[in-house]
Amino acid sequence: MKNFILASSNAHKAEEFKVLFKGVLSVEPAPQSLDVDESGSTFTENAYLKAKAYFDKFAVPALADDSGLVVEALPELLGVQSARFAPELSSYVDKCQKLIELLKSKENRSAYFVCILCFYLSPEEVYFFEGRVQGKIGNELKGDHGFGYDPIFIPDRKEQDGKSLAELPDWKNEFSHRARASQSALQFFKDSVDKPLKKS
């Protein structure tokens, strides 16, 4: 089993990854949280910056993720800035309401969540995996199970019932952007057990 520290001291997130990686990869929270300057212009760059910082500090393989919401009609507002959108608002409930307001005059409500995972084993061995979930921004907040922008994000599903991610905890566990990126990583590391890893 390959062992990684998570580029975060968040024990809950580390536990989530442990479940997703099903005993193939071990993920532990970092002993301490580092203040990493996420100055990248893409999710990939920011995931790399975080993973490298934790590898350099603790000298063990590190896993970092960077994710966010991309809204097609407002491409400059969220994306890598998703967590910093509307900094004057302290709660995601208010941020969600603001986003709904900004989209009132827009016909295109298409959006997607994206997650990039960066596995930093050494300076010569770095792997990236991407997961996305397509959908649209709803007109109201719905559901109590999600966080962030989940209550206003309606994922594309065969059941066209208009439910938000915050109403679909079981579906999210299997099909979210983080789950899909993790599934790709899991398959890659499973396949590499009996053969040398090659640069992806």
The partner residues of 15 in beta bridges, in order of sequence, read: none
Q: How far apart are CA 177 and CA 156, in angstroms?
A: 12
> What's the first-to-final CA gap in the chain, in angstroms?
20
Q: DSSP code of 105?
A: T
Respond yes or no: is residue 194 known to be catalytic. no
CB of 38 within 8 A of CB of 18? no
The first and second tokens of residue 163, run together, are 């439910």
Place of tokens 């996305």: 132
Q: DSSP code of 193?
A: T
Q: Which of 35, 56, 65, 66 is catalytic?
A: 66
Positions marked active-site: 66
